[in-house]
Amino acid sequence: MASTTVESGAAGHGAEPRGKRSEDGQATYLIAIAEALWEEMERDERVIMLGEDIGVYGGAFKVTEGFLERFGPDRVMDTPIAEETIVGFSVGAAMEGWRPVAEFQYSDFMTSGFDEITTVLSRYHYRSGVQTPVTLRAPSGGGVRASNFHSVNPEPWFAYAGGIKIMCPAFPSDAKGLLKSAIRDDNPTLFLEHKALYRRIKEHVSEDPEALIPISSAAVKRPGDDVTIVTYGAMVHKALEAADTLAGRGVSVEVVDLRTVYPIDEETVIRSIEKTSRALVLYESFHFLGIGAEVASVIAEKAFEHLDAPVMRLAPPNHPVPFSPPLEDAFLPQVADIEAAVDRLSAW
């Protein structure tokens, strides 16, 4: 194939993701993800990448910019707009010993390959005894005025399948460490990247290619004594903001970031409830049947004796994500809503 020129896109930098860190060495959420992919591609020849526009274009969000040049078209494949085929191809390749990392341009399009994901990928090992180490990646979540075709949180749909580990990191370090763990895991994994965080969050991220974050490990992002907020994804940052304001009012909030939403780290959550006795489960997937509904259930069942108030949930309704900005803002939990919910919980 003739060599192609890569235009510098929105990420606007050179080929190696690590070279795209800020001057003081911090990496954005997006660059951290790119670094994880690059390092795993370098580490293990069996890792291959496929997706719509990931090669020549460098990815819709420019995550994979420079990968085609470095790793070649046999390992970085542009696909047709055919999600079912992307997943089916990944399953087949995995059966043959490859470790595919398949990108969906938006998580909303994953449902075009729903059957391949839930009936095939999720169950193939159970049916046949053959491992399928496929990692699916997709930008998910709303709050960016992208409306209901480009803002979904699909994790509940695929958690239901039962055979796929699902991660929703909130911080760049967590994103890099978890994606590496996902690629190295021999099970099907789904790595959801919250698109609102791509360029908005940056921090110092390890350069050690062996720095992994274990799947199904939650983390206390802010210690506190009075109320626990269990959350994940972009909501973690809103929870932290609310916690700052609440601290000024004398309410000490502990924020537990699930990081992996299926299977969840029950122990960390319960340990937090043992401390505070009050739980608010905050999540961006829909209220009914969203991830938080499960978390609340686990808390009620396994931490009952430690509760000083009912477990409360805060999540958007089961409703298409609105397009109009004021409507989308009203739809998603905002910092003020989180504060109000914590107030209600504290006053119970």
Q: Known catalytic residues?
A: 150
For the CB of residue 306, give the shortest distance to other proteins in the complex, in Å. Answer: 5
Member of 23, 129, 305, 326 binding other proteins (CB under 8 A): 305
Q: Quick one: the chain helix, strand, coil %, rounded to 5?
A: 40, 15, 45
Q: For residue 263, is the peptide bond before it cis, meaning its omega torsion is within 30 degrees of 0? A: yes
Which token pair is 33? Answer: 């993800």
Among 10, 56, 130, 330, binds other proteins (CB under 8 A): 330
By the rule CB under 8 A, 327 interacts with other proteins = no
Nearer to other proteins (CB atom), residue 289 or residue 335: 335
DSSP code of 20?
A: G
- Near other proteins by CB under 8 A, which window of 163-171, 186-194, 195-203, 330-338? 330-338
CB of 330 to other proteins, least distance (A): 5
Nearer to other proteins, 224 or 316 (CB): 316
Q: Rounded CA gap, 136 and 189, in Å?
A: 6
Task: Please pick, from the candidates 331, 339, 342, 345, the single residue that binds other proteins as defined by CB under 8 A.
Answer: 331
CB of 231: closest distance to other proteins in angstroms? 16
The whole-angstrom separation of Cα 146 and Cα 328 is: 10
67/331 with CB nearer other proteins:
331
- Position among 69, 185, 241, 337 found at the interface with other proteins (CB under 8 A): 337
- Reduced to 3 states (helix: H, G, I; strand: E, B; else coil), residue 175 is helix
Exposed / middle / buried, residue 18 (Cβ in 10 Å: 0-12, 13-18, 19+):
middle
Compare residues 206 and 252 and give the one whose CB is closer to other proteins. 252
Grouping H, G, I as helix, E, B as strand and the rest as coil, residue 99 is strand
Measured from the Cβ of residue 99, the count of other Cβ atoms closer than 10 Å reads 23
Per CB under 8 A, 270 contacts other proteins: no
DSSP 293-318: HHHHHHHHHHSGGG-SS--EEE---S
Identify the CA nearest to 188 among candidates 161, 170, 209, 214.
Answer: 161
Which x/- pattern, by CB under 8 A, does the window 224-263 give for other proteins?
A: ----------------------------------------
Look-up of token digits 């790793």: 71
- Is residue 180 a contact partner of residue 169, using CB atoms and an 8 Å limit? no
Closest approach of other proteins to the CB of residue 28, in Å: 29
Q: Among 252, 271, 277, 298, indicate the residue that binds other proteins (CB under 8 A).
A: 277
- When asked if residue 334 is in the footprint of other proteins (CB under 8 A), the reply is yes
- Can you spell out the DSSP letters for 204-227? E----TT----TT--EEEE--SSE
- Site residues (vs other proteins, CB under 8 A): 277, 304-309, 316, 330-334, 337, 347-348
